[in-house]
């Protein structure tokens, strides 16, 4: 009996240690992810201030976000190769330094050109986060906890979006808008310090899963071998999914408040409440999706169901006959269904990266697939902004439904191929 208890205790100790290590790693990379999303919405709340301070048009201000996402999209593709060459940890440190530089540019901004530099550095910092973080998760986290890892990672990104506007509002009201940049830079410095202090938890060389992955990796592969993933249909389907799903979500994120004001006659406070409800619903969906993902259910089928429901809600929201009161229920439901697909889309990208052709450069595949996110967001002003200026508010909701349907179709095709 004593021997049995001793054996159980000896077996349980490494499991507890592994759980603590995985949890700490997930928290570290998720905080870094949340910070990059925080920088997504650092500038937009200050657009009215910049318009008066620097006498620039809203087209010029919109260029700031277009620059951010364009740099991030292109940089994300190439950062996959950089991660493969130099390792994810050093590239993660560089990304945090870019965010520090972005905050300092905002703090020192006395002309429009420095705002462009702020957006450029923020885009570079954002560009590395997915190839880096998913390489770390893939190398270090036990496969049984991947669903929770991806859901926590996504939830941290949503938290970054939610926390940025009140942070900007509070700091700018009490200390001036320049202090927003300084505060953001200090947050990035603190995050960088935490990553350096706990670097043993994000190193991939000695990670618990590293040996298994290393057996299939090919660090000395030729450039043509590393680019071989571009000929894999699964990679392009994953890219298409990320592109279209983020185009839809980017339109909601950027234009939902004015949409609800003009189309449904809601007040600014009511529209802002609906936007918050959408993001909260999205976060809850991500949490639930993480638990479902750990049950090893078909990720493509879950995506198809969730996005079909979300697209139907977008079509209903386009209907002029819908009572405004239902908007308060439908938007969090839409956010929930979109969030539910979140952890599964990351699993979709992971499966693509672990294909036979992808073993030569997994971080390259993560960079390429997640570049679809930023490309989708970067084109949002081109079509949604045009529809908003033309007062075709119904068309915005309908296009959101079409893009969600396109993402659903990509997942469905991939499911059939499997």
> What's the pLDDT at 336?
93
> What's the pLDDT at 55?
87
Convert the pLDDT of each residue in 339-366 to its tens digit. Answer: 888 766 666 666 666 655 555 566 677 7
The reply to whether 235 and 184 lie within a common domain is: no
Is 302 within a domain? yes
Convert the pLDDT of each residue in 16-40 to its tens digit. Answer: 777 788 888 888 999 999 999 999 8
Q: What domain range is 274 assigned to?
A: 225-418
Query: Which of 159, 183, 215 is where one domain is finished?
Result: 215
The reply to whether 237 and 370 lie within a common domain is: yes
The reply to whether 110 and 141 lie within a common domain is: yes
Domain count, the chain: 2
Question: How far apart (Å, rounded) are the C-alpha atoms in residues 15 and 10?
Answer: 9
The reply to whether 148 and 253 lie within a common domain is: no
Inter-CA distances, 237 with 132, 226, 372, 398, Å: 22, 18, 11, 23
> What's the pLDDT at 298?
60
Q: What mean pLDDT do residues 222-244 have?
A: 73
> What's the pLDDT at 36?
94
The reply to whether 176 and 254 lie within a common domain is: no
The reply to whether 190 and 270 lie within a common domain is: no
Question: How far apart (Å, rounded) are the C-alpha atoms in residues 331 and 256?
Answer: 10
Q: Is the pLDDT of residue 222 over 70?
A: no
Q: Which residue has the higher pLDDT, 189 or 203?
A: 189
The reply to whether 147 and 295 lie within a common domain is: no
Question: pLDDT exceeding 70 applies to what percent of the chain?
Answer: 82
Is 220 within a domain? no
Q: Which residue has the higher pLDDT, 291 or 25?
A: 25
- Domain with residue 108: its CATH number is 1.20.1250.20
Is 283 within a domain? yes
The reply to whether 175 and 274 lie within a common domain is: no
Question: How far apart (Å, rounded) are the C-alpha atoms in residues 349 and 340?
Answer: 16
Convert the pLDDT of each residue in 376-404 to its tens digit. Answer: 877 877 788 788 878 888 999 999 999 99
The reply to whether 166 and 294 lie within a common domain is: no
Query: What burial letters (b/e) apply to 100-139, b meaning 16+ CB within 10 Å?
Result: bbbbbbbbebeebebbbbbbbbbbbbbbbbbbbbbbbbbb
The reply to whether 254 and 142 lie within a common domain is: no
Q: Is the pLDDT of residue 12 over 70?
A: no
Convert the pLDDT of each residue in 296-328 to its tens digit. Answer: 556 667 788 888 999 999 999 998 777 888 999
Q: Is the pLDDT of residue 212 over 50?
A: no
The reply to whether 132 and 264 lie within a common domain is: no
The reply to whether 87 and 195 lie within a common domain is: yes
Whole-prediction pTM value? Answer: 0.74
């Amino acid at each position: 009996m004593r021997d049995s208890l001793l054996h159980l205790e000896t077996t349980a100790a490494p499991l507890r240690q592994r759980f603590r290590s995985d949890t700490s790693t997930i928290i570290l990379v998720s905080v870094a992810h949340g910070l990059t999303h925080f920088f997504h919405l650092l500038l937009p709340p200050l657009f009215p201030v910049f318009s008066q301070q620097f006498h620039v048009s809203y087209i010029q201000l919109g260029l700031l976000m277009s620059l951010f996402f364009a740099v991030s999209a292109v940089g994300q593709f190439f950062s996959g190769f950089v991660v493969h060459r130099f390792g994810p940890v050093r590239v993660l440190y560089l990304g945090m330094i870019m965010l520090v530089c972005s905050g300092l540019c905002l703090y020192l901004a006395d002309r429009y050109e420095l705002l462009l530099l702020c957006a450029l550095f923020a885009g570079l910092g954002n560009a590395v986060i997915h190839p880096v973080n998913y390489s770390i998760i893939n190398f270090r986290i036990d496969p049984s906890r991947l669903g929770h890892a991806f859901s926590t990672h996504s939830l941290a990104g949503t938290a970054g979006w939610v926390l940025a506007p009140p942070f900007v509002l509070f700091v700018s009201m009490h200390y001036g808008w320049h202090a927003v940049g300084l505060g953001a830079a200090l947050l990035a410095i603190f995050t960088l310090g935490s990553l350096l202090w706990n670097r043993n938890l994000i190193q991939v060389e000695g990670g618990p899963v590293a040996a298994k992955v290393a057996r299939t990796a090919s660090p000395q592969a030729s450039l043509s071998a590393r680019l071989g993933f571009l000929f894999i249909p699964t990679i392009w389907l994953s890219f298409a999914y990320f592109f279209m799903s983020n185009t839809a979500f980017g339109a909601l994120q950027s234009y939902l408040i004015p949409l609800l004001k003009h189309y449904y006659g809601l007040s600014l406070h009511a529209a802002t409440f609906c936007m918050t409800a959408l993001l909260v619903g999205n976060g809850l969906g991500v949490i639930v999706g993480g638990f479902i993902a750990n049950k090893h259910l078909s990720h493509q089928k879950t995506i198809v169901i969730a996005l079909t429901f979300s697209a139907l809600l977008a079509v209903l929201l386009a209907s002029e006959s819908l009572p405004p009161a239902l908007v308060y229920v439908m938007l969090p439901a839409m956010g929930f269904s979109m969030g539910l697909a979140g952890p599964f889309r990351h699993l979709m990208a992971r499966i693509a990266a672990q294909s036979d052709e992808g073993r030569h450069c997994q971080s390259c595949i993560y960079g390429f697939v997640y570049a679809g996110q930023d490309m989708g967001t970067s084109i949002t002003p081109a079509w949604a902004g045009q529809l908003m200026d033309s007062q075709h508010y119904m068309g915005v909701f309908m296009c959101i439904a079409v893009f969600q349907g396109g993402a659903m179709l990509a997942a469905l095709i991939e499911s059939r191929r499997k």
